[in-house]
Amino acid sequence: MRAVIVQEPRRRSALRMRLGTAFFCLRRRLRWHTGGLRFARLRPEAECPCLWAEHSTPLLRQLRGEEMALQRNKVTNLRLALSRLDGLTLAPGETLSFWRAVGKPTRRKGYVEGMLLRNGRVAAGIGGGLCQMTNLLYWMTLHTPLTVTERWRHGYDVFPDSGRTQPFGSGATCFYNYMDLMVRNDTEHTWRLTLRLTETHLEGEWRAGAPCDRRYEVYEKEHYIQGEYWGGFTRHNTLYRRTFDLEGTLLGDDFLIENHAIMMYDPMLPGNSPESLPAS
């Protein structure tokens, strides 16, 4: 009898999660079809010769055992997603939806188990690792006049800051399909997203039909770490962006986002203490 009492709430909880996921996925699909949005598409004829932003991130971190195998699988998942995103163009007024472009990652499409985070724990899941793509896309977009209309912050700070080149919280997580990354073109020019995989890195560019006429610096404020009553730590900051013309005149200094995350490592251990980074 005791076993039944313990398992029943778990069944109900799992059922609620499945029903909730189905509801939010359906609502997203309805938004795609009835929201009045015009979406990015391939236009080989569009000329976008002018580089505005570029970035690259390493494909592998030195982790242990099974986690390393999941990272290698991630490369397969990134390659499949890249094939749906590379070359997409944004005409004025159009929106790039990451999940609408990539589609649902399934075994049938060739996706494999990569590394996911579930409730702060590393787990295996089909399509795992695609947040590296949304992280890259989000960071590049912050260095253009394109408008981010939807972004979800990471709920966990996974790795210590060793080798970090961007401020904490400058990425974007994703989960099919209701945690999306969406970018709208509010400029008068057409933009093209270019992506590629090398042996060691995921690389991307935003190019446009007009020359780059400004420069951006993304930086953090109000960075602090807080000990929590349950014994762990949380990390917080806000990100801002300065915009300059090519002569160095400041055009704007704007708030971007606020971040809060549970730390999955001990910041009190030697070498783990996070440090604020200068503007990008």
User: What percentage of the chain carries pLDDT values higher than 90?
Assistant: 64
So what's the pLDDT on residue 277?
59
Interval 193-234: pLDDT, tens: 999 999 999 999 999 999 999 999 999 999 999 999 999 999
Region 134-147: mean pLDDT is: 98
Interval 53-112: pLDDT, tens: 999 999 987 666 567 788 889 999 999 999 999 999 999 999 999 999 999 999 999 999
Range of the domain at 67: 48-159+167-211
Reduced to 3 states (helix: H, G, I; strand: E, B; else coil), residue 80 is: helix
Interval 124-133: pLDDT, tens: 889 999 999 9
Supply the mean pLDDT for the chain.
Answer: 88
Q: Is the pLDDT of residue 235 over 50?
A: yes
Q: Is residue 232 part of a domain?
A: no
Interval 53-64: pLDDT, tens: 999 999 987 666
Q: Is the pLDDT of residue 4 over 70?
A: no
Q: Is residue 124 part of a domain?
A: yes
Interval 259-271: pLDDT, tens: 999 988 888 777 6
Q: Is residue 21 part of a domain?
A: no
For the chain, the domain total comes to: 1
Whether the Cβ atoms of residue 85 and residue 101 lie closer than 8 Å to each other: yes
So what's the pLDDT on residue 6?
40
Alpha helices in the chain (DSSP H): 2-34, 65-85, 98-102, 131-141
So what's the pLDDT on residue 227?
92
Whole-angstrom distance, CA of residue 225 vs CA of residue 165:
19
So what's the pLDDT on residue 186?
98
Q: Is residue 9 part of a domain?
A: no
Q: Is residue 98 part of a domain?
A: yes
Q: Is residue 64 part of a domain?
A: yes
Query: CA-CA distances (angstroms) from residue 204 to 7, 71, 165, 241, 249?
Result: 47, 19, 16, 20, 28
Q: Is residue 256 part of a domain?
A: no
So what's the pLDDT on residue 278?
57
So what's the pLDDT on residue 57?
94
So what's the pLDDT on residue 3?
40
Region 12-19: mean pLDDT is: 71
Reduced to 3 states (helix: H, G, I; strand: E, B; else coil), residue 16 is: helix
Question: pLDDT band at residue 28, thresholds of 50, 70 and 90?
Answer: confident
Q: Is residue 182 part of a domain?
A: yes
